[in-house]
Chains A and B, each alone.
Chain A
Amino acid sequence: MNETLDQLTAMSVETQEQAIGLIEKLLNVAQPSAVFSEPMSLEGRTIITASEVNVGLGVGFGVGGGRTPSEERSEREETQRRHARAADPHERVALEGSGAAEEEGEGAEAEPTGEDVGMGGGGGGGGGASGRPVAVISVSEDGVQVEPVVDATKIALAFFTALGSMFFMLTKMRKAAER
């Protein structure tokens, strides 16, 4: 029982260490190399792409175990004993003997059996990442030029969301004015 618990705990610790290692790698995203691309030379100019990067992740683990409460256990043992008595009268002596042994050992904790002990564990994780080009940097002997990258889809979505909310509020205001 203890060996199994130790193995389970060891496995859990190993998995947790792997997960923590993954979280540590998250910090690599905070480096400038994640934002600026490798410089590319083209017709006497050096081009660098600048992007915005977003990364997030989280993990969770849990391991637990326990024994059947002593009252339930004693009830179950009693039931088993009754069944055994009904089934085989010869076993009665042996069971009574074991009962006496239990009475003698009262106060000391009984050795748990396989049925009385249960344990389990679980874990999960999730994450997401996104990147979006923000600008293109062009370096030449004449100087440095920064050309912004415009995401028309995002702007259009924001425009229609704003327009929708304005229209909704305008309708509400008109209705209120009519009253």
Chain B
Amino acid sequence: MTQQQETFTSQQESGETVTVGEVAATPQSQALTVRWPRGGWVWNRPVAILVERGEEDQERIPITDVTRVAQLVLYGFGLVFAVLGLLMWMFGREENR
């Protein structure tokens, strides 16, 4: 009925190649899969595009998720500030004693 599958899987796959003139572009995606007996979760995101011009010229252009990077930077700033503030408060408390 069902096959025994791994709980965590990370796989990178290539999509269909698009050719315009001499340029061939192959998109690549990365999927993270978490499976449990009665459910699962899949996170799939684009990672790069492989560009080929002729047989020798190959280039890999990464796809950057600008929104995610900006979110992580902002949350990181908030977290660092919170930790620093906490540490300063703790040291200030000890000095006052």
| A50 & B27 in contact (Cβ 8 Å cutoff) | yes
Determine the chain A residues whose CB is within 8 A of the CB of B89 once the complex forms.
Answer: 172-173, 176
Interface string of B12-27 (1 = CB under 8 A from A): 0111101011110101
Q: A48-B27, A58-B36, A165-B82 are in contact. Are A32 and B92 (CB under 8 A)?
A: no
Question: Which of A33-41, A101-109, A113-121 forms contacts with chain B?
Answer: A33-41
Bound form: Cα–Cα A104–B33 in Å: 63
- The CB with the most chain B CB atoms within 10 A, among A23, A140, A161, is that of A23
| B2 & A20 in contact (Cβ 8 Å cutoff) | yes
Chain B residue nearest in CB terms to A143: B23
Determine the chain B residues whose CB is within 8 A of the CB of A52 once the complex forms.
Answer: 43-46, 65
* A8 beta carbon closer than 8 Å to chain B: no
Q: A20-B1, A144-B49, A158-B71 are in contact. Are A53 and B18 (CB under 8 A)?
A: no
Interface string of B47-79 (1 = CB under 8 A from A): 001010000000101011111001100110111
A-binding residues in B (CB < 8 A)? 1-2, 11, 13-16, 18, 20-23, 25, 27-29, 31, 33, 36, 38-46, 49, 51, 59, 61, 63-67, 70-71, 74-75, 77-79, 81-82, 84-86, 88-89, 92-93, 96
B-binding residues in A (CB < 8 A)? 17, 19-20, 23-24, 26-27, 29-36, 39, 44-46, 48, 50-61, 125, 127, 132, 134-135, 137, 139-141, 143-144, 146, 148-151, 154-155, 158-159, 161-163, 165-166, 169-170, 172-173, 176-177, 179
